[in-house]
Amino acid sequence: MATGKHYDVIIIGTGAGGGTLAYHLAPSGKRILLLERGGYLPREKDNWDSRAVFVESKYRAKETWYDKDGAAFHPGIHYYVGGNTKVYGAALLRFRKEDFGEVLHHGGISPAWPLRYEDFEPYYTKSEHLYHVHGQRGIDPTEGEAGAPYRYPPVSHEPRIQELFDDFRRLGRHPFPLPLGILLDEEEGKAVHTSACVRCPACDGFPCLVNGKADAQVICVDPALGHSNVELLTGAYVERLETNPSGRVVTKVIVTRNGAVEEYSADIVVVSCGAINSAALLLRSANEKHPGGLANSSDVVGRYYMRHNCSAFVAVSKDPNPTVFQKTLGLNDFYFRSEDWEYPLGEIQMLGKSDGEMLQGEAPGWAIWKPEFALGYLAEHSIDFWLQSEDLPDPGNRVSINPDGRIVLSIRESNLEGHQRLTAKLKAMLTEIGCHDQLMHRSLYLDKNIPIGGTAHQAGTVRFGRDPKTSALDVNCKAHDLDNLYVVDASFFVSIAAVNPSLTIMANALRVGDHLLERLGSTNDRK
Ligand SMILES: Cc1cc2nc3c(=O)[nH]c(=O)nc-3n(C[C@H](O)[C@H](O)[C@H](O)COP(=O)(O)OP(=O)(O)OC[C@H]3O[C@@H](n4cnc5c(N)ncnc54)[C@H](O)[C@@H]3O)c2cc1C
Ligand code: SF4
């Protein structure tokens, strides 16, 4: 690998966006370089150890960022080949059709996207097939039309979760099998002997020791590297991008690797570092022609940061909950409104099952107000939920760079009422169906003790749109201000809806990939 080498395409970052794009472009024969600051996530027993993963945060980046008041925090972020999908819960849901239009929330307006659900639909189907999404259409009343059925059957519920499913139905609700990207082949609730996924208890938030999770490394980067025209450099931190004198073309990608500075160039440069790091890279790349940061004549780069209003809860069932793989149920009955409120509340889904180690890690926070639940009882009776509601894009919620070059994240919470009501709805339902009247925060999953550090669903910092005055990217995710710069991670989001973001990032990467193939005068025989 010679520094200074020229490529057709450089992709910076190998997560949901960059990894999926690399997979799509690989068969074109074009010379493609992937630059990834992390390495491969080590495969070791600790991958499935709750203490190592949640209490000691072994796989999280050892990085310090700052809030708007200068207080330091450690973000919940992971730098590996495959990006944050290495630890994701693999819940892969489409935005609802309505999410692409303007939606009135209690806290304000969630703005319309420049494209419609119908523009994304074919790519949603392709990414569901690519990422082995297991699901079932026609049960969740909020879902949009789909061009094809799921290719894989829904992941079966274990008995206690099936009971929960039936109980919710009895309450008149519409629980549905959560669409999941895992390489599972099961019979009667057990993984068959050829199945990569073994339905273990350590999935959501953990790396998968046996490569059974449909993450961006396993599904996209590794197969892309099977093409001789694709190269990957790990440990390659992109410091900044340089342009030609007119400022219209990115001419150099400046990389620090093994302590040395290297330079690469390409006809097309795609940034996909995750919403916070992509904005930071563009801001760091300010030059005479782009004084406010690259691609930032609109001054939107770094702004409109979103991350969901979300909570991880432990409920305590009166019956034991021996479930191993718990993340199999979702509920969207309150997605748009509830019987007693006209605004959106959000989505409820299961979370990976908490165990003794995690609960012990949480215990100091809980003991104050709930001493009667012994940890052993909790571990046997806990049922875990993930609640997510929409936060609204606000120009004041932003990523910036301090004089030392460190990332600063400024956040003002928005639209919280819907989330509080969603929590109350869950609590009321659980109380009706045989759980104790308690929901306890699972702060280790969420970094709730430092709310600003909960960056798992980061999005929106390099938004796309038709108007260069109010967006940084055009509808193909090309920078309005430059001819060869694209961004394909969650940065392009205009709003975040109330579903997990990855499937929309993947679908968009395939969509942008089609545009790039056309621009390169090339094809992909998978199209
Ligand atoms: C615990 C957890 C659970 C989650 N569960 C779900 C879920 O169930 N469903 C869902 O849809 N989403 C889930 N998510 C969110 C999901 O992982 C992210 O939305 C998704 O990975 C974002 O994709 P991305 O391409 O925007 O960025 P990432 O996947 O973060 O990829 C960015 C990549 O860029 C690299 N990079 C960053 N800066 C540089 C640089 N300067 N130079 C070179 N490389 C760089 C990073 O190392 C990384 O590999 C979860 C996240 C976490 C942390
Ligand atoms: S449940 Fe399956 S995909 Fe998830 S970590 Fe376990 S083996 Fe891997």
Which residue type sits at 178?
Answer: L
Residues with CB under 6 A from ligand 2: 182, 197-200, 202-203, 206, 208, 210, 212-213, 325
The atom number, within ligand 1, closest to the CA of 491 reads 26
Residues with CB under 6 A from ligand 1: 12-18, 35-38, 76, 79-80, 83-85, 87-92, 205, 236-238, 272-275, 277, 281, 456-457, 489-490, 500-502, 505
Task: Give the CA-trace dihedral at 98, 337, 310, 393, to 10 degrees.
Answer: 50
**Average pLDDT in the chain:** 94
How does residue 425 score in pLDDT terms, banded at 50, 70 and 90?
very high
**DSSP-derived secondary structure letter, 220:** I
What mean pLDDT is predicted for residues 127-141? Answer: 98
Q: In 3D, which of 2, 3, 25 has the Cα closest to residue 11?
A: 25
Quote the ligand 1 centre to 79 CA distance (angstroms). 8
pLDDT at 526: 65
Quote the ligand 1 centre to 431 CA distance (angstroms). 35
Tokens representing residue 278 in the block: 């992509």
pLDDT at 328: 98
Q: Does 367 have pLDDT greater than 60?
A: no
pLDDT at 434: 81
| Percent of the chain whose predicted confidence (pLDDT) is above 90 | 85
The atom number, within ligand 1, closest to the CA of 239 reads 41
pLDDT at 188: 95
Q: What angle do CA 328, 330, 333 make, to 5 degrees?
A: 160
pTM above 0.75, yes or no: yes
Reported as a single tens digit per residue, the pLDDT across 41-63 is: 999 999 999 999 988 999 999 99
What mean pLDDT is predicted for residues 237-253? Answer: 98
pLDDT at 317: 85
For residues 488 and 508, give the distance between their C-alpha atoms in angstroms, rounded to a whole number.
7
pLDDT at 401: 97
Quote the ligand 2 centre to 123 CA distance (angstroms). 25
Tokens representing residue 84 in the block: 């944050």
The ligand with the least distance to the CA atom of 216 is 1
Quote the ligand 1 centre to 455 CA distance (angstroms). 9
- The backbone torsions φ and ψ at residue 19, rounded to the nearest 5 degrees and listed phi first, read -65, -45
Tokens representing residue 379 in the block: 């571990």
Q: Does 114 have pLDDT greater than 80?
A: yes
Q: Alpha helices of 200-295 — where are they, by DSSP H?
A: 216, 222-225, 275-284
The atom number, within ligand 1, closest to the CA of 280 reads 41
Reported as a single tens digit per residue, the pLDDT across 433-465 is: 888 777 878 777 666 545 677 899 999 999 999
The atom number, within ligand 2, closest to the CA of 183 reads 3
Q: Which of 43, 199, 324, 327 has the most ligand 2 atoms within 8 A of CB, as the residue to mutate?
A: 199
Q: Which residues contact 76 (CB under 8 A, 6 or more apart)?
A: 60, 446, 447, 453, 454, 455, 456
pLDDT at 154: 98
The atom number, within ligand 2, closest to the CA of 200 reads 6
Q: Which of 12, 86, 220, 273 has the most ligand 1 atoms within 8 A of CB, as the residue to mutate?
A: 273
Quote the ligand 2 centre to 204 CA distance (angstroms). 8
**DSSP-derived secondary structure letter, 221:** I
- The answer to whether the CB of 312 falls within 8 A of the CB of 419 is no
Q: In 3D, which of 382, 477, 482, 415 has the Cα closest to residue 103?
A: 415
Alpha-carbon separation of residue 428 from 49, 167, 435, 437 (angstroms) = 33, 13, 10, 8
Q: What angle do CA 12, 17, 18 make, to 5 degrees?
A: 30
